[in-house]
Structure 1
Amino acid sequence: MNEAIVASQAPGTDTASVPGASGARQFWRRLRAQRAALVAAGVVALLVLVALAAPLLTAIEGQDPTTYHPGLIDSARGGVPVGSLGGIGGDHWLGVEPQTGRDLFARLVYGARVSLGVAFAATLVQVFIGIVVGVAAGLGNRWIDQLLSRVTDIIIAMPLMIMSLALLAIVPSSFPRPVLVALIIGLVAWGSIAKIVRAHTLTLKELDYVAAARLSGWGSWRVARRELLPALAAPVITYAALLVPTNITIEAALSFLGVGVKPPTPSWGQMLTAADVWYQAAPQYLLLPAGALFLTVLALTVLGDGVRTALDPRAASRLRVGTGRKREAKV
C-alpha cells in the first residue's frame, strides 16, 4: 500500500494527474470488475436493509421479538415448539423459540440491527482514535512519537476479550448495552489502525508537497487536514472494511459469553448462547443465527478484500505473478 500511495503522488505518473472524481470512477470500475465483491456488496446491502426495516417486516408478520407465546410450547417435552419445523407457519415465518415461544424471525431481524449496529459503531470509534493517534505520532516530534507509539503498543498487547469482559462486568447494567459494547470494542481495539496510519503518515510527510506545506508555515492540523487525510483515505477505508466483520465476531462472542447484549434485546450471539442445548430438539434455533452470522462475516470479508484490491490494484497484480506468462505459453 505504501508503494501505491507514493506512486500516486509521484510526478509524471498517470494517477497524479487524475482528479478526485476520476479517481473515484476508477475505483468503482475496478470494484465492478470483481464479481465476488459485487455479490458480497449486494448481500451486505440486503442485510443492512433488513436490519433497518426490522420494525416494518415484523409488523407485516404481525409479531415482535419480545412477546411470549406459551401456547406454542409443548411443556411436556421440555419446551419444544409445537408443530413441525419448530412451529413454522403463516403467523411465525421461521418458527418460535424453545421454552419462550418468542418469534424467531422477529428476533433474527432485530438481532441484525444489534450485531451490525455495534460492529459499525465500534469501527467508527476505532478509525477515529486510530487516525488521531497515528497522525499525531507521525507529525509530532520524537518525544510525542515515542510516547504515542508506546501507548499504542500497550493497547495492541492487551488481550481484547479479557479487557472487554472486565470492563463489561463493572459497568452498571442501566447503561445501554449495545452502546457500551460498541464503545468498549472501539476503545480497546484501535491500536492496529493507529500503527497503520502512523506508518503512512511517516511516508507521506517526506513527499515534496507535504514538506513544502510544512515549510510554508502551515500548522500540523492544517497539514493533516489538507494534505494527509485525503491521501490516508485509501488505507483507512481498506482496513476499516476488514474491521467490521471482526467486530461482528467479537460482539457475538461477548454475547455468547453472557456479558454482551442482555435479554430481552435480541442478538445473534445471545441467540447462539441459548440455542446450545437445543441443537437436536430444535435445530433451526441454532442454525438460523449461526447461518446469519456466517453469511454476514463472509460477505463483509469478501467485500473488504474487494475494496482493498480496487484501491490498490498493485496488490492484486502481485497475487497473480506468473499467471500472465502461463497464459502466453498456452497461447
Structure 2
Amino acid sequence: MSEASTVSRTAGTDTTVPAVSGARQFWRRLRTQRAALVAAVVVALLVLVALAAPLLTAVEGQDPTTYHPSLVDSARGGVPIGRFGGISGDHWLGVEPQTGRDLFARLVHGARVSLGVALTATLVQILIGVVVGVAAALGNRWVDQLLSRATDIIVAMPLMIMALALLAIVPSAFPRPVLVTLVIGLIAWGSIAKIVRAQTLTLKGLDHVAAARLSGWGPWHVARRELLPGLAAPVITYAALLVPMNISVEAALSFLGVGVKPPTPSWGQMLTSADVWYQAAPQYLLLPAGALFVTVLALTVLGDGVRTALDPRAASRLGVGTGRGRAGGPGRGTGRSNGARDSGGRGPAGGAAQKEDTA
C-alpha cells in the first residue's frame, strides 16, 4: 500500500514524514487500551481452542459423544464416581452426570458450535444490514420508505419469541446449528441497517461522492468505490458488539430447548442439562457457565476497544499530554519561544539586526 507523505517545516528545514495509514492509527490507538489487548488475547485463545478441538480431544484420548456408564454411580442417580466430578488423567475435567461423557471434549467442541453460530450469524446480519441500508439511502423516496418501514418492523420484532416460534416448527432433521445461525441472522439485522442508512446519507453529501454521482457512475458503483470504505468503521464497530450478543442468544435458545440438540455439544445445551446438578456435580454447571461468561466479557471489552480505536475523536483525546505537538511542529512551547525570539530581537537574527542599527 502506498503511503502519502507530508512535509513539516522545523527550524527552517523541510523534512518529509510519511503519513500514518489508517491501519497504523487504529493499531496505535488500540495499543493504549490494555484491557482491550488482554481481551483480544483471550478471544484469540478461545478461537484457537475451538479450531483445535478435534486435536485436543485426540490428545486426551476422548470424544464428546461416547458414554462411560462405569464412571457414574447409578445408585446415586448418576453422580460421577471420584473426587471433583471424576477428574483423572483420562478425563481432564471430569465426566458428565448420568452419561459419563467427557466434559473437556464436550466443552471444547461446544466452543466450536457457540462461536461458529455467533460469528456466522453476525456475518449474515452485517451482509443484509449493509445491503438494505445502502439501498434505502441511495434509492428514491419510495424505495427508501419501503425499506425503512421493513427495517422498523424487523427492529420491533422480539428476537427470542420469533426465534422460538421458527425453531419450534422446523423439522428436527434440519441441522440445528445451521438453523439457529439462519434464524438469528435473518431476524436481527434491523439495527445495523438503520446505522448504515444514516451513515450513507451523511456520506452522500461529501464532495467526492457527489462528484462520482455527477460523473455518471451507477448507484452500486458509487457505493462500492466511494461509500463502503467510509462505512467500514461503524460496521466493524457494531459487528464487534454483535458477536457476544449472538453468543448469548444461542446459549439462551439452547437453554430453552429449541437450539442445538444433543448429542451435539453446546454451552447453552450443557447448561440446560446441568441445571439440576448444581449441588451433586457443580463443575458440570460451572464449566460451561464460566466459559460463556469469559467469552462474552472478552468480546464485549474487545468490541468497546475497537469502537474507541475507530473513533476519529480518539486521536485528539489520546494526544493530550503526550507532547507530540512540541516534537512534531510548531507546538505551544516551541512555536511561541521561536516567535518571541524573532519579534523581540533576542535571538541570533534579532541581535545582528540590532547591532547594525546601532552602528
- Normalized against structure 1, the TM-score is what? 0.89
Q: Distance in 2 between matches of 1:100 and 1:257?
A: 21
Post-superposition CA distance 1:25-74 (Å, at most 9, x none)? 11111111110000000000000000000000000000000000000000
Q: Distance in 1 between matches of 2:207 and 2:143?
A: 23
Question: 1:283 corresponds to which residue?
Answer: 282
Of 279-288 and 22-31, more deviation after overlay is shown by 22-31
Which residue identity lines up with residue 98 of structure 1 in the other structure? P
1:120 lines up with 2:134 in the alignment: no
Matches within 5 A, 1:1-331: 22-314=21-313
The secondary structure found in structure 2 opposite 1:92 is: coil
Distance 1:290 1:136, change over 3 A: same
In 1, Cα distance between the equivalents of 2:213 and 2:120? 34
Shift of 1:82: 0.1
SS in 2 for 1:163: helix
Shift of 1:176: 1.0
Question: Alignment partner of 2:171: what SS?
Answer: coil
Higher helix proportion: 1
CA distance in 2, matches of 1:59, 1:45: 21
When residues 243 and 108 of structure 1 are mapped into structure 2, their CA distance, relative to the original with a 3 A threshold, is same
Q: Which residue of 2 aligns with 1:328?
A: none
What CA distance in whole angstroms lies between the structure 2 residues aligned with 1:315 and 1:29?
11
Q: Give the secondary-structure state (helix, strand or coil) at the position aligned to 1:286.
A: helix
Partners of 1:323 and 1:265 in 2: how far apart? 54
Gaps of 5+ in 1: 1-17, 325-331
- Note the residue ranges of structure 2 that are not aligned, 5 or more in a row: 1-17, 323-359
Aligned partners of 1:46, 1:220: CA distance in 2, in Å?
Answer: 42
CA contact (8 A) 1:152 1:195 kept: yes
Aligned-partner residue type, residue 121 of structure 2: A
CA RMSD of aligned residues (A): 1.8
What is the aligned residue count?
Answer: 305
| 1:186-232 superposed Cα distances (whole Å, 9 cap, x missing partner) | 00000000000000000000111101111111000000000000110
Compute the displacement of 1:175 (Å): 1.2
8 Å CA contact retained: 1:65, 1:103:
yes
- Bigger mean CA deviation after superposition, 185-194 or 305-314: 305-314
- Residue 241 of structure 1 deviates from its aligned partner by 0.3
**Displacement, 1:91?**
0.3
In 1, distance between residues paired with 2:262 and 2:271? 13
**Which string of whole-angstrom CA distances, capped at 9 and with x for unpartnered residues, describes residues 219-249 of structure 1?**
0000000000011000000000000000000
The separation in 1 between residues aligned to 2:312 and 2:263, in whole angstroms, is 46
Distance 2:59 2:161 in 1: 41
Q: CA deviation at 1:313?
A: 4.7
Compute the displacement of 1:315 (Å): 5.9
Task: Give the aligned residue type for 2:196.
Answer: V
Amino acid across the alignment from 1:156: V
Separation (CA, whole Å) in 2 of partners of 1:207 and 1:256:
48
Higher RCO (C-alpha under 8 Å, 6+ residues apart): 1
Report if the CA contact (8 A) 1:309-1:316 is conserved. no
What CA distance in whole angstroms lies between the structure 1 residues aligned with 2:289 and 2:75?
28
- Matches of 2:228 and 2:315, distance apart in 1: 24
Native 8 Å contact 2:29 2:314 kept in 1: no
Q: Which amino acid aligns with 1:227?
A: E
Shift of 1:268: 0.2
